Chain A
């Protein structure tokens, strides 16, 4: 692990776009059963070729049931001054219900570890102001204007844990195995042009929405400038930040159902649109026309977790499928798994020989896979019934 650069990149690397290759894994239990981080750690850590020890992170949904009505802030601080400054700042906008360290384990003596802190927060409801909008403003303000502080996550009953290290190191540091969540997202990275920093690892979160992402979008400039006209400030210079804000814009501010939002992000080709019925054509063409700058271009695969209004996990790859995404469903159809590679599923089955996956499939390029709590698999990313196929199971000795 790298015990430096917690809340920002070193000066020399700022204001540069960050490029990286990545491993992504995620799962959701449709019935809401909360499971330990073990599974997602196993899924992610096997994808070792996809990381180089410069960043990993986990998002867990359902981990704070006792505080589920409050916004849970996860912070990284460089020092106590930054911490007290942020806590003081928060007091202006509501009440701090609980303020405590995020438990960590340091395997050996570290001179200057980051302060990992969490706060459960109840904003004062002001007239004419949306609660969520207020939280977004607070997050933006802290990340932009309070030195040595960084907000990792800000949703309800969820949290993001991330840092600069190998995926297994980050898991151990934050004691991820001790949390229980119904939905897990995990990410490891291979940055190419910076030494990495803790806040810059994924998942990237805003309110209840977290994004993990693999790829390098070629439409970054178009997307960033589009978001800026809606008041977003893209200060991290990463693709993931832009994707997270686009989803926030579409799903929260413009109230798109996630399935429609994915059409804006990765719309069907015009040739495909022409084959649809007239009504669908009008819908999709209007999405393409109106949200032409929200379209993501270039290689990407993303998994998005969102708990508002119904907890949902969405997986999507680019229109040319230049980054991998593979999906699996458990025998009882209760758990949906997503990963960069099938190796994640094989690993699970190797560890737990009672686990069997009913199906494993590669979603069609640019077509979303959507799983919702209490509803199951809403879109399978192929849009026709899956053909039964068996996975080559490794014999467990």
Chain B
């Protein structure tokens, strides 16, 4: 490409020449090839830098820092630098632009426009350090009602008549989102699953199969059956707490998975049951699911194959018509339903889809919860909501809007060391998270990563308890769908209507 059309880098790599010891550690640590040594000094090619901060942290002399490029483009309020970059890139390579992580457009977060309630005078708040506040929940389908055979008034003398569906308990209403082995590394998976087991929460396997090393974590893993059917065999189905049919993903509604062949090494190939080096592109739709009754058949087939021992659910991206789709899915027999909002993350997705398709999770939760209630189906199903649950405040608000479980992924990656450079699709992650290159993967210390995930969710759960206590609620069940405890303070009251939340002051 002509030099005239090179895209100006966002970042500038600065090396303090006085402090630099020329140890060349930056050369080995940078997986993006920024650094070289010309025999005299370290040379940095800023246009290759992604600001992942690996060199900054690893430089023993702390001689490197990354700054924003000072190069100033003629300003334009509409043709922003980002838009111009997109045009330059496309006119250079003629292709669909790839992107990773979640939607990076500065669209206002509705979660941030919601305020929480607290008790004053007429009801006492509860101190979670002194009194019990429960965050355990049951995951799976519930019957509409229970019937008993009653012999006397004592509950020890009654027995259940109602047929019970498979359910399991988790200690926090938190799920680690689906990130496949392939999109993230073996070490990252190992750390997540170990943390999930220790916390007794659940983690998604992603659509890339389950490595036999991870079978031991089955009670805390929900495995995913996606359109590519990667890694699906009877062992995969039998080594899971729950099975999820992946219809869509928040980052790329209407799209399948994209795992570039460069990432498919022997480990990935073995786990996904595909040839080494081949692109793992799962089809956009499931080619055996073109309508709701096809989905119902697959749900039934999976239940049959696993002898009705584990809940079977469906994940959809939050799109305009999520509510009626959700109702169909629940009627189709899904025991749980995962909603993934338009800010949800990805290892690789076309930028056009990531940034422009789908709807915010806040609105999707509200619409789906309300619609399921109208059809008296809500109590039967476990509703999981993800798509940018960034911190505990989002978790609390997602539950108050109507979710049973909040699902998140990027916070887990950040806890492990991710700096959100958004280059996951390139397989060059210098932190050993979103890569399959062995020398990079080794950089992720499984024990430390595990401990940091545990710390993160432990603190989220404590903060959840603090909020519940302030609201005078001693069990998370009583927060779920309790929209009375939320108020809206954003600019658009129409949003408050859709959320079923009053405006602050009302």
Contacts and interface: CB of A to CB of B under 8 A. Distances in A.
Contacts, number: 135
A283 B136 CA distance: 17
A96 interface: no
Given A283-B158, A286-B146, A290-B143, A17 B153 contact: no
B373 A225 contact: yes
A374 B396 CA distance: 48
Interface string A308-338: 0000000000011010000000000000000
Interface in B139-170: 142-143, 145-148, 150, 153-156, 158-160, 162, 164, 167
Which of B131, B164, B474, B485 lies at the interface centre, i.e. has the most chain A CB atoms within 10 A of its CB?
A: B474
Contacts of B158: 257, 260, 283
Nearest to A253: B145
A189 B182 CA distance: 64
B155 A283 contact: yes
A258 B154 CA distance: 10
Interface string A211-240: 000011011111011101110000000000
B474 A320 contact: yes
B497 to A, nearest CB: 14
B156 A279 contact: yes
A286 B119 contact: no
Nearest to A215: B123
Contacts of B379: 226, 229, 290, 292-293
Contact of B153 (A19, A229, A378): A378
A130 interface: no
A222 B477 contact: yes
B473 A225 contact: no
Contact of A295 (B123, B142, B477, B485): B477
A271 B131 CA distance: 12
B263 interface: no
Contact of A299 (B123, B136, B477, B485): B123
B376 A230 contact: yes
B123 A287 contact: no
A218 B132 contact: no
B138 A288 contact: yes
B477 A286 contact: no
Given A222-B479, A286-B164, A295-B478, A256 B148 contact: yes
- Chain B, interface size category, equals 35 or more
Interface in A370-388: 370, 372, 378-379
A196 B5 CA distance: 75
A180 B126 CA distance: 43
Given A259-B153, A271-B132, A283-B158, A229 B472 contact: no
B14 interface: no
A269 interface: yes
Given A221-B485, A269-B134, A298-B472, A293 B119 contact: no
Nearest to A282: B160
Contact of B472 (A21, A291, A299): A299
A322 B162 CA distance: 34
Interface string B357-377: 000000000000000011110
Interface in B361-419: 373-376, 378-379
Interface of A is mostly: mixed
A260 B167 CA distance: 21
B223 interface: no
B122 A293 contact: no
A194 interface: no
A284 B136 CA distance: 14
Contacts of B475: 295, 297
A286 B478 contact: no
A319 B153 CA distance: 21
Interface string A246-287: 000000001111111001000001110000010110111111
Given A215-B123, A256-B148, A290 B142 contact: yes
A289 interface: yes
Contact of A320 (B119, B126, B138): B126
Nearest to A280: B156
A292 B167 CA distance: 14
Nearest to B482: A221
B252 interface: no
A352 interface: no
Contacts of A95: none
A258 B124 CA distance: 28
B363 to A, nearest CB: 17
A125 interface: no
B120 to A, nearest CB: 11
A353 interface: no
B155 A218 contact: no
A223 to B, nearest CB: 8
Given A221-B485, A286-B146, A289-B138, A298 B473 contact: yes
A280 B142 CA distance: 18
Given A218-B119, A269-B134, A290-B143, A260 B148 contact: yes
Interface in B421-461: none
The 7 closest A-B pairs by CB, nearest first: A221-B484, A219-B478, A297-B478, A221-B482, A289-B138, A292-B477, A218-B472
Given A218-B123, A225-B373, A289-B142, 14 more contacts: A21-B122, A220-B482, A221-B485, A222-B478, A230-B376, A258-B153, A259-B153, A283-B155, A297-B472, A298-B473, A320-B126, A320-B131, A322-B124, A379-B153
19 contacts: A219-B478, A229-B375, A254-B145, A256-B146, A259-B155, A260-B155, A277-B156, A279-B159, A283-B148, A286-B146, A292-B477, A293-B379, A293-B480, A293-B481, A295-B477, A298-B473, A299-B123, A320-B131, A379-B154
Interface of B: 119, 122-124, 126, 131-132, 134, 136-138, 142-143, 145-148, 150, 153-156, 158-160, 162, 164, 167, 373-376, 378-379, 471-475, 477-485
